[in-house]
């Protein structure tokens, strides 16, 4: 998918990239922009800037502090927030099932800065790496497919099942209902086709297969402008159960894209 080369969100991503590189003394192998900005699904004031920084050596404490400060102070407009992941080139090249993560810094609306340094195992990183490899755009250094290795899709499916099972205990969480539903649609399409699609595209894909999933239509309405739309609790459960049960039933392996 194309991104808007001269858009303010991409310009902000490039500025953040430069600040991250300046904060690191060790060589930077690559900085990859991925997510909504490379899937043609960026929604101003709702979507984040997703960046993956691949480094030759683990960052020092001072570098972790400097990178955290970059995310905390960056002008992300018109994005809602920033998601920064830092991994070593060795991990990116051959990701294990529970890959170590040097740093995650998340800046989101109406919440404290989320800082996770030096995680010995970060299973959710697998999906981030897979998305960056499939549809990411290199802002600096080597291209995504040159630095990120192939990831077993069953590992990603298994992590998806974990979250679907967890979310089924949270179907009354109205604030996050739309996120859970749309992310479940992304998991569903990945399970069926091995494709990382945007939230909007995944929702439309899901509705084309089952028009009865009313919560998908409601969540899509929320995302595309009608923030007052309520996502039905029973509908959330129906979507999560549908996707979880299909993943549990197994599926065909898909070739790397």
Report pLDDT digits (tens) over 91-143. Answer: 999 999 999 999 999 999 888 999 999 999 999 999 999 999 999 999 999 99
3-class DSSP string for 36-77:
HHHCCCCCCCCCEEEEEEEECCCCCHHHHHHHHHHHHHCCCC
- DSSP strand pairing (48-55 vs 81-88): parallel
CB–CB of 67/89 below 8 Å?
Answer: no
Q: Please report the pLDDT score of residue 228 as a whole number.
A: 75
Q: What are phi and psi of 208, to 5 degrees?
A: -65, -20
Q: In the predicted model, is pLDDT for residue 202 greater than 50?
A: yes
Q: What's the rounded mean pLDDT across residues 159-182? A: 97
Q: What's the rounded mean pLDDT across residues 215-235? A: 89
Strand partners, 49: 82
d(CA 154, CA 151): 9
Closest to 109 (Cα-Cα) out of 66, 51, 47: 47
pLDDT confidence tier of residue 150, bands split at 50, 70 and 90: very high
Closest to 42 (Cα-Cα) out of 8, 14, 18: 8
Contacts within 8 Å (CB) and 24+ apart, 45-49: 45/78, 45/79, 45/80, 46/80, 46/223, 47/9, 47/79, 47/80, 48/79, 48/80, 48/81, 48/82, 48/83, 48/108, 49/9, 49/12, 49/13, 49/16, 49/76, 49/79, 49/81, 49/82, 49/83
d(CA 176, CA 148): 31
The domain ranges of the chain are 8-147, 153-249
Q: Which residue do the tokens 């996502």 mark?
A: 231
d(CA 144, CA 135): 8
d(CA 92, CA 109): 29
Closest to 210 (Cα-Cα) out of 176, 245, 168: 245
Q: In the predicted model, is pLDDT for residue 2 greater than 70?
A: no
Q: What's the rounded mean pLDDT across residues 34-43? A: 94
> Residue 125's Cα: distance from chain center in Å?
9
Find all residues with CB under 8 Å of 22, minimum gap 6, and list them: none
Q: In the predicted model, is pLDDT for residue 4 greater than 50?
A: no
Q: Please report the pLDDT score of residue 251 as a whole number.
A: 62
Q: In the predicted model, is pLDDT for residue 3 greater than 70?
A: no
CATH placement of domain 8-147: 3.30.460
pTM of the predicted model as reported, rounded to 2 decimal places: 0.93
């Amino acid at each position: 998918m194309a991104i808007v080369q001269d858009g303010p969100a991409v310009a902000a991503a490039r500025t953040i990239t430069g600040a991250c590189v300046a904060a690191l003394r060790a060589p930077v192998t690559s900085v990859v922009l991925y997510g909504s900005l490379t899937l043609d699904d960026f929604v101003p004031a709702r979507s984040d800037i997703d960046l993956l920084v691949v480094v030759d050596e683990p960052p020092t404490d001072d570098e972790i502090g400097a990178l955290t400060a970059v995310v905390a102070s960056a002008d992300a407009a018109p994005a809602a927030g920033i998601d920064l992941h830092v991994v070593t080139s060795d991990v990116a090249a051959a990701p294990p099932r529970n890959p170590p993560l040097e740093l995650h810094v998340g800046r989101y609306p109406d919440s404290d800065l989320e800082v996770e340094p030096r995680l010995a195992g970060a299973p959710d990183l697998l999906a981030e790496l897979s998305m960056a490899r499939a549809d990411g755009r290199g802002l600096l250094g080597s291209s995504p497919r040159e630095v990120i290795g192939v990831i077993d899709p069953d590992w990603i499916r298994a992590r998806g099942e974990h979250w679907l099972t967890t979310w089924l205990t949270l179907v009354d969480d109205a604030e996050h209902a739309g996120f859970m539903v749309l992310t479940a649609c992304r998991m569903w399409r990945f399970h069926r086709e091995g494709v990382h699609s945007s939230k909007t595209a995944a929702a439309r894909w899901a509705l084309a297969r089952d028009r009865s999933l009313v919560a998908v239509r409601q969540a899509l309405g929320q995302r595309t402008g009608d923030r007052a739309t309520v996502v039905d609790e029973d509908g959330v459960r129906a979507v999560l159960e549908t996707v979880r049960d299909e993943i549990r039933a197994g599926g065909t392996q898909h070739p790397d894209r």
